[in-house]
A and B are shown apart, each in its own frame.
Chain A
């Protein structure tokens, strides 16, 4: 399998506490940028620092300080909601209490003892969010966070992002739901063909969106 560049000449500075919307067409490189920031893709050339960690050398300590909600849940089918959450939380030194609080926060309290394979798509997304929260991250990377969620789930995601932003966490959100995410974001950048375009100012007028 050949290698090809997915991000070329991408240049992006994000301040601590920023909520950044990454917009752009399918295949532009939004997911790749998030995976790069999470240390899941190797940096082939250039330089990048995330939370002060050099992406080329220090990915493990970086990963302990961030959470990534991607297209997949990163969960085990044969573990329950609570077991998946506790495993992820304990891996970064968090306790059962944080895990259980995160379950309640995303509205999965009644499913705590249900195995992952029996959850609906929307419940799985909620679990992914709960895991992200239970890790108490400094940086939250969200890839299409509203995809596959019902109205309640989408509202939960919005609330989670608002609370995380109010707590001073830095958040990068790749999304096609621009109107919705613009209400949450402090900045917007467009990614086209693997390159970061000039910052787009967020719409000053809040737009009403249906839940």
Chain B
């Protein structure tokens, strides 16, 4: 089986688990929504501020919710020694990384669609530059999922992983939040040409994160042995 078929196998397994457990739908998406609502309450006195800071609040909410997705992606490997099972499976480490990152990315895209509607409704945002927004969302999501998956496996197997994942991931994905926010601001301001350089930066970050993950995931998966 080649690497991409193996990655599809792992992604299918993770998505099937999520579809059945509904943790993403019943906990992670509502969490992201609550974050948006809290921001809305906090900034409500100044209604004019919310549309202007909406891109940053959107990506902050996505980032916080993504930490739950990443932690969840590795917590399913802890019960019943499933992590050892994954190692014993003989699957390529790079393929496991691609599969797990793809599953996280798909869940994040679902989350972002829901949060996007939330931003439009709660923050009174007029949507413009849809192509730029869509491209930014896809590329930033790949970057977030790939980076999170690398740090997720690094922290997996450690007793303090729930607290370690945010500590590791938040600083590492700061460029993603920055690039996503700036690109969204450009799109909503009707100046998409100002946003595309940020998409290029995000794309470079995503490629780097994916390559690093493919190379490093296998050795990191073996790390606690």
Q: Are A92 and B81 in contact (CB under 8 A)?
A: no
Given contacts A40-B87, A68-B88, A92-B90, contact A78 B76 (CB under 8 A): yes
Inter-chain contact B76/A73, CB cutoff 8 Å: no
In the bound complex, residues from chain A placing their C-beta under 8 Å from that of B16 are 78-79, 83
Query: Is B131 located at the chain interface by the 8 A CB criterion?
Result: no
Q: Is the interface of A mostly helix, strand, loop or mixed?
A: loop
B41 to chain A, nearest CB (A): 35
Contact count A vs B, C-beta below 8 Å? 79
Q: Which residues on B sit within 8 Å (CB–CB) of A101?
A: none
Do A40 and B80 touch across chains, with their CB atoms under 8 A apart? no
Q: Does B163 contact A (CB under 8 A)?
A: no
Instruction: Say whether chain B's binding surface is mostly helix, strand, loop, or mixed.
Output: helix
A 59-71 binary contact with B (CB < 8 Å = 1; else 0)? 1110110111011
**When A42-B225, A90-B9 are in contact, do A75 and B89 touch as well, CB less than 8 Å?**
no
* Chain A interface size, under 10 / 10 to 19 / 20 to 34 / 35 or more: 20 to 34
The docked-state distance in angstroms from the alpha carbon of A68 to that of B89 is: 10
Chain B residues closer than 8 Å to A165, beta-carbon distance: none
Q: Is A12 an interface residue (CB 8 A)?
A: no
Identify the closest chain A residue to B81 (Cβ): A72
B68-127: which residues lie under 8 A (CB-CB) from chain A?
76, 79-82, 84-85, 87-93
**Please, how many angstroms separate the alpha-carbon atoms of A88 and B9 in the complex?**
10
Chain B interface residues toward A at CB < 8 A: 1, 6, 9, 13, 16-17, 20-21, 76, 79-82, 84-85, 87-93, 218, 222, 225
Residues of A within 8 A of B (CB): 38-42, 59-61, 63-64, 66-68, 70-79, 83, 87-88, 90-93, 115-116, 124
Minimum-distance CB pairs A-B, first 3 = A74-B85, A72-B81, A64-B90
Q: List 25 A-B contacts (CB under 8 A).
A: A39-B88, A40-B87, A40-B225, A42-B222, A60-B90, A60-B92, A60-B218, A61-B90, A63-B88, A63-B90, A67-B88, A71-B81, A72-B84, A74-B80, A74-B81, A74-B84, A74-B85, A76-B79, A76-B80, A77-B79, A77-B80, A78-B20, A87-B9, A90-B9, A91-B89
